[in-house]
Structure 1
Amino acid sequence: MDIAIGSENPVKVSAVERVCPDAETTALAVDSGVPEQPWGREETVRGADNRAAAARSATGADYGVGIEGGVAERDSPPGLWLIMWAAVTDGTTTHFGAGPSIRLPDAVADRLRDGEELGPVLDDELGREALGKQEGAIGVYTGGRVGRTDALADAVAGAVGPFESDAY
């Protein structure tokens, strides 16, 4: 099976390779078609969908995979939450999966609400560099119990499942 991944981010590539270890993968940068900091489930899902379609279209692979992280305001429980979605397409059908979601600290949430992007905010707040290509926000805020690769792999597995499981 050939899989085109709509990102060159090593964490996203590792997540796909973990879920599909026997696949031949090609990672390529594609446009998500959404803002650099997606807001809400709809925008985040659209970014994943756009990445999957663009990756498959550019390569002719069996499947295209798109992964998008975003943030979403919630009333219950309240706060600004980290969200992540994956899309997998064979060119005809697309399936989606979500990863875990965690509430962001108020200081980070306030900066995002003021228009900043999560990656640079986290790097600044935590004195880090390129956290999004490492354990990510989920790794930091779970005390290392869940890393970004783990979380994104869950989303990818949810999106790949309908193609691989007879239960659908």
Structure 2
Amino acid sequence: MGSNDAWMGETQPYIAPRRAGERDAWSAEAAAHGQRGGQRLLAVEEVDPPAPVREFLNVGPDEKVVVRRRLILLNDEPVELADSYYPARIARGTGLAERGKIPGGAVTLLAALGFTPADDLLEDVSATAATSSQCDALGLSPGTPVLVLTRFTTSTAGEPMEVSVMTMTRHLQYRQKQVV
């Protein structure tokens, strides 16, 4: 998706549990724009998290987290890398820690486990040059700029439950709703 191909997106569908048979948020958003969204699961593994993930998820220095790494596609072309991190204490023994599609997506599984996302999440957006591995995965030339959106999600009970790091090649527009 080129920089002139932007559409207005909203975060809320990505943190709302899906109903049975409902498409994932990305597929639904792409379809609403007459396009085809998809994703390919690249890896599911327990890792030592990056410092911001460790801090937010409140995991100790010796604790691992589960990461689900995905390649996000638009009309079968790569447009984003998405890494979602979960505390191992939440993810172990669930579909989050298994390689395979999660019916309804991770947010639906988390809600079934009692971790409903709060509406007041934090998102951080930065720009950087793509790394060589990001260039390879996304079909970019060396030095191409990318957006990195990091979403920090807590449950309605206030427990940190997910950090998603999305490296994007596309234009990003946001709609923020006023909280009264």
TM-score under structure 1 normalisation? 0.35
Higher RCO (Cα < 8 Å, 6 or more apart)? 2
More helix by share: 1
TM-score under structure 2 normalisation? 0.34
More strand by share: 2
